[in-house]
């Protein structure tokens, strides 16, 4: 085979590969979102803007939109402030246990929102061991948001900070600047791109917060996500829910556009150095105290809520394991099925979602990695859109869309498809850097020797990308285990997942139901943490970081 024919074969392979992710996104993302737009704009086949006028004129709905905005701003500011000391210590110092703590810090980020909310109910709710009842207050929501998102800031800002030359600050100090002045005038301007990236991600996650606010805020605090859920599930007002979803989509798009403009206007060339030459052993008592204080701070911020959750799951008058034993019982657990069946549902759904996400995500990553030009960049942006769209919007869109030509709304298969849609962007982002590291000459040589595009990928790329594949599988599995927003719309009563079962138990009175929710949350937390810690051990440079 000539080099020219080999090139044609590889191009044909790219065209074949692009069909899988493009078809998946078209059917399970674009079609549901378009259906929401149709529901929000058209009633009876004609343009109807009355739902939007209801949103604009209703003081309660305007209050929901305003609360969604300002709580996201405040949550973002508090999270950044809380994370910066940790980012500094992790970037500038080397100490025993740093890698373990870094991995532990990621666990809250992938922890199911239902588990996070349950943990904070145990820590700061009506039966708080601290004697503080912040349930149904804005403060418990802020605390949960910080817990959930602090890893984003630490990994993003700390990752860049660990490559900045400390001699820049030392030069400013030698010219008479105080430590605060040196940080403000030298380091902070260099960290602004990473701070903007982390802040935009945290703002996006808190702007679309659902599970945390639904459980901790109740009816007192309602975001657009929660209001869409209420209008759909309790009032069956699909046009108004569609209008709210459109408003939220516009808000998310504006956020992404502002961030993109900011990044383009402030791109600067940085001279980065290896992290190993930046981090150093603490040389003074003050530095050792700073590291010790940071470890203690992490314990309060990250470990305490989860520790209280585990403790409460074993605290029963009927015996230490009473709540766990009750998980095998149908009565009082999760409607028509036992909690053990809900665990089984979550495991097989997560497995199916992982397989789908890997097939779609790896083929999409191959297209992005092997292509250049505007079309490739546009395809990459399209792949990221589900990450910027709230899970509630995705679930609501599927509920609206999939009644024709085949009614899939009652099918349990819709759940792993929705989970895979949320996980695909993570698979792509984790896999593309590794695939781009494969030399094009190797593929061309294999094609010249007669290998088909599928065999080229199997023999050349797959062995190199195997570790990225394993990391992607771990993240996809963890994301599926904890997904709550989309599942709350499409899960059937007879097939609840673990987050849905926990939410149902929390909504029922009685110590047994609350204890079972704690026990089930502990199981879900343990499985998620195990998957992430194993995944972190597989990380290589450029893989598995935010």
pLDDT tens by residue, 63-104: 999 999 999 999 999 999 999 999 888 888 888 888 778 777
Does 365 map to a domain?
no
CA–CA dist 114, 500 (Å, integer) = 8
Query: Are 33 and 397 a contacting pair, CB within 8 Å?
Result: yes
CA–CA dist 292, 191 (Å, integer) = 25
Does 180 map to a domain?
yes
Non-local (6+) Cβ contacts of 66 within 8 A are none
Max mean pLDDT range (5-19, 391-405, 530-544): 391-405
pLDDT averaged over every residue in the chain: 79
- Segments in 111-137 forming alpha helices (H): 113-124
pLDDT tens by residue, 318-345: 677 888 888 877 544 444 567 778 888 9
Of residues 5 and 196, the one with the higher pLDDT is: 196
Does 354 map to a domain?
no
CA–CA dist 68, 465 (Å, integer) = 40
Does 345 map to a domain?
no
CA–CA dist 117, 119 (Å, integer) = 5
CA–CA dist 309, 481 (Å, integer) = 18
Determine the average pLDDT of the residues in 192-197.
82
Q: What is the pLDDT of residue 342?
A: 85
- Number of structural domains (the chain) is 1
Determine the average pLDDT of the residues in 472-483.
85
* Alpha-carbon distances, residue 130 vs 61, 122, 171, 173, 356 (angstroms): 36, 10, 46, 43, 44
Task: Report, in this order, helix, strand and coil percent for the chain, each rounded to 5.
Answer: 75, 0, 25
CA–CA dist 258, 537 (Å, integer) = 36
pLDDT tens by residue, 489-527: 888 878 888 888 888 888 787 778 888 888 888 888 888
Closest Cα partner for 532 from 426, 421, 390, 414? 426
pLDDT tens by residue, 405-422: 677 777 888 899 999 998
Q: What pTM was estimated for this model as a whole?
A: 0.78
Sign, CA dihedral 371-372-378-382, equals positive
* Alpha-carbon distances, residue 346 vs 64, 147, 309, 498, 502 (angstroms): 32, 24, 20, 6, 12
Residue 3 has pLDDT above 60, yes or no: no
Q: What is the pLDDT of residue 261?
A: 66
Percentage of the chain exceeding pLDDT 90: 10
Does 278 map to a domain?
yes
Q: What is the pLDDT of residue 58?
A: 87
Does 464 map to a domain?
no
Determine the average pLDDT of the residues in 463-470.
73
327 phi and psi, to 5 degrees? Answer: -65, -20
**C-alpha 381, offset from chain centre:** 17
pLDDT tens by residue, 252-287: 778 777 766 665 555 554 565 666 667 788 888 888
User: Which of the four pLDDT bands, split at 50, 70 and 90, describes residue 138?
Assistant: very high
> N- to C-terminal Cα distance for the chain?
42
Domain span at residue 291 reads 83-221+258-312
Closest Cα partner for 182 from 174, 172, 193? 172
CA–CA dist 82, 301 (Å, integer) = 9
280 phi and psi, to 5 degrees? Answer: -140, 160
Does 74 map to a domain?
no
CB-based burial label for 520 (10 Å; 0-12, 13-18, 19+): buried
CA–CA dist 546, 540 (Å, integer) = 13
Does 128 map to a domain?
yes
CATH code of the domain containing 114: 1.10.3720.10
Residue 239 has pLDDT above 90, yes or no: no
**DSSP helix/strand/coil, 46:** strand
Determine the average pLDDT of the residues in 139-158.
89
CA–CA dist 21, 359 (Å, integer) = 9
């Amino acid at each position: 085979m000539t080099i020219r024919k080999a090139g044609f074969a590889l191009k044909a392979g790219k065209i074949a590969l692009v069909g899988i992710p493009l078809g998946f996104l078209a059917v399970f993302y674009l079609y549901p979102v378009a259906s929401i737009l149709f529901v929000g704009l058209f009633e009876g086949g004609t343009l109807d803007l009355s739902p939007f006028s209801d949103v604009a004129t209703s003081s309660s709905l305007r209050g929901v939109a305003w609360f969604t905005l300002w709580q996201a701003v405040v949550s973002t500011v508090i999270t950044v402030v809380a994370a910066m000391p940790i980012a500094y210590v992790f970037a500038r110092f080397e100490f025993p246990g740093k890698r373990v703590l870094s991995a532990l810090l990621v666990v809250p980020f992938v922890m199911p929102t239902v588990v996070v909310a349950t943990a904070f109910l145990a820590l700061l709710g009506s039966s708080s061991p601290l004697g503080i009842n912040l349930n149904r207050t804005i403060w418990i929501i802020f605390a949960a948001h910080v817990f959930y998102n602090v890893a984003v800031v630490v990994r993003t800002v700390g990752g860049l900070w660990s490559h900045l030359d400390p001699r820049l600050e030392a030069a400013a100090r030698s010219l008479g600047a105080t430590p605060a002045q040196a940080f403000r005038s030298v380091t902070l301007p260099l960290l602004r791109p990473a701070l903007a990236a982390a802040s935009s991600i945290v703002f996006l996650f808190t702007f679309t917060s659902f599970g945390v606010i639904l459980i901790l805020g109740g009816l007192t605090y309602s975001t657009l996500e929660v209001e869409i859920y209420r209008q759909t599930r309790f009032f069956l007002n699909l046009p108004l829910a569609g209008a709210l979803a459109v408003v939220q989509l516009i808000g998310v798009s504006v956020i992404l556009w502002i961030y993109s403009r900011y990044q383009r206007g402030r791109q600067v060339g940085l001279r980065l150095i290896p992290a190993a030459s930046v981090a150093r052993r603490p040389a003074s008592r003050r530095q050792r105290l700073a590291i010790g204080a940071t470890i203690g701070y992490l314990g309060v911020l990250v470990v305490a809520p989860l520790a209280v959750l585990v403790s409460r799951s074993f605290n029963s008058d009927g015996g230490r394991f009473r709540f766990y034993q009750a998980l095998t019982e149908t009565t009082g657990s999760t409607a028509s099925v036992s909690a053990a069946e809900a665990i089984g549902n979550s495991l097989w759904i997560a497995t199916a979602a992982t397989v789908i996400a890997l097939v779609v995500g790896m083929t999409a990553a191959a297209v992005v990695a092997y292509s250049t030009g505007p079309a490739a960049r546009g395809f990459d942006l399209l792949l990221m859109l589900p990450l910027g769209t709230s899970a509630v919007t995705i679930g609501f869109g599927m509920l609206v869309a999939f009644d024709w030509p085949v009614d899939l709304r009652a099918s349990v298969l819709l759940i792993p498809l929705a989970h895979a849609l949320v996980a695909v962007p993570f698979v792509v982002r984790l896999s593309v850097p590794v695939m781009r590291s494969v030399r094009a000459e190797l593929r061309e040589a294999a094609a010249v020797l007669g290998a088909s595009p599928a065999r080229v990928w199997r023999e050349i790329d797959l062995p190199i990308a195997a570790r990225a594949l394993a990391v992607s599988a771990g993240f996809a599995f963890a994301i599926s285990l904890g997904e709550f927003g989309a599942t709350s719309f499409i899960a059937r009563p007879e097939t609840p997942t673990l987050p849905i079962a926990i939410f149902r138990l929390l909504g029922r009175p009685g110590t047994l139901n609350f204890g079972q929710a704690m026990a089930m949350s502990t199981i879900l937390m343990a499985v998620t943490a195990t998957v992430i810690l194993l995944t972190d051990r597989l990380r290589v440079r450029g893989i598995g970081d935010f």
